[in-house]
A = this chain, B = another copy of it.
């Protein structure tokens, strides 16, 4: 149960503290502390002697816990993920986001603490309550997630990503609706009239399968909900009934799920001539399904992805996809959080939108006549 059953002693017995180093040198503990934290407060000579005796006694620098308690600061920012961490690492888009975040925290000299959203079902708020962090980045969580409330309650500086601002908590994201609309319009302009959509999760709870029209509007996860709205607007504008466009919801954004989704969509009659996937990962699964069924992409089937992960340029065929600046998103979110930590005056309320663009590659073509 508990992580520490055994005895809790350092090999050498007791832990060495500033006090002991100070005693050994006949100076004040403050001076030892200053040797590590404010070199300008003592002579270079004494500082050197402090380090020497510290090393001799086995003191390895200020204890993080004592320092944290005193300074009320951890020099760490937390990132809160919707699902288990291992899911985040399996999602290239999330990884690119983290790449950007890590750039921001590194330039500020902070550490990066990853916090799991708990096993998919049970939302365990313990980790977020007990985390020693100065601020937190909330990544793509449902608006009604108890984890978000737990984070907000701690009144830590925070930034939310891919979701509307909450109270005074600023946000960073893209225009999901507009972007998806552009992607759909690309297919419509190529003459496709029978589309299929592969979406990822629409709400907190997990499910896979076809999405009935009445459920489409009720998404609590902003990205998928807004994107479906964008597609709906595009097809309606083209004179196609949105209710007639089949939408498949995947529980996780993976090639395997995307393949399952494509199999379901492509077995319908009439068969779609184009599939729009709301993530590249799922689009790769769509490509695989098409190949397996014997459909040629883009001749028999056009496929559009969303994200433009690096692999999209290398797939067979190269994927037409909606580019989203994932790294930049992480960088901006991280910087926004760091700014809050520094200035303590939240520029609040602010919502930052990053630009997207359609990248046309080899997976889309004119609709077959």
Q: Residues of A with Cβ closer than 8 Å to B?
A: 3-8, 10-11, 60-69, 72-76, 84-86, 88-90, 95-96, 98-100, 102-103, 105-106, 108-116, 119, 126-127, 129-134, 153-155, 255, 284, 288, 310-311, 314-316, 338, 341-345
Contacts and interface: CB of A to CB of B under 8 A. Distances in A.
A339 to B, nearest CB: 11
A35 to B, nearest CB: 14
Contacts of A343: 5-6
A65 B127 CA distance: 14
B99 A132 contact: no
A77 B89 CA distance: 17
A89 B89 CA distance: 9
Contacts of A85: 99, 102-103, 105-106, 112
Contacts of A3: 73, 75, 108, 110, 134, 338, 341-342
B11 A155 contact: yes
A201 to B, nearest CB: 19
Nearest to A15: B72
Give this chain's copy count.
2
A105 B5 CA distance: 18
B132 A64 contact: yes
A4 B73 contact: yes
A283 to B, nearest CB: 11
Nearest to A110: B3
Contact of A75 (B10, B76, B110, B130): B130
Nearest to A99: B89
A64 B342 contact: no
Contacts of A134: 3
Contacts of A310: 255
8 contacts: A3-B73, A4-B341, A4-B344, A6-B343, A65-B74, A95-B95, A113-B114, A311-B311
Nearest to A103: B86
Given A61-B129, A64-B131, A65-B68, A6 B344 contact: yes
A127 B109 contact: yes
Contacts of A127: 109, 111
A155 B13 CA distance: 12
Nearest to A318: B316
Contact of A106 (B66, B86, B106, B311): B86
A100 B88 CA distance: 12
Contacts of A68: 64-65, 68-69, 132
A90 B100 CA distance: 10
A99 B111 contact: no
A71 to B, nearest CB: 8
Which among A72, A85, A129, A134 has the highest number of chain B CB atoms within 10 Å? A85
A132 B86 contact: no
A63 B72 CA distance: 10
A321 to B, nearest CB: 15
B131 A344 contact: no
Contacts of A95: 89, 95
A111 B100 CA distance: 20
A110 B113 CA distance: 11
Q: Please give me the 4 A-B residue pairs with the lowest Cβ-Cβ distance, nearest first.
A: A85-B102, A6-B344, A89-B99, A64-B132
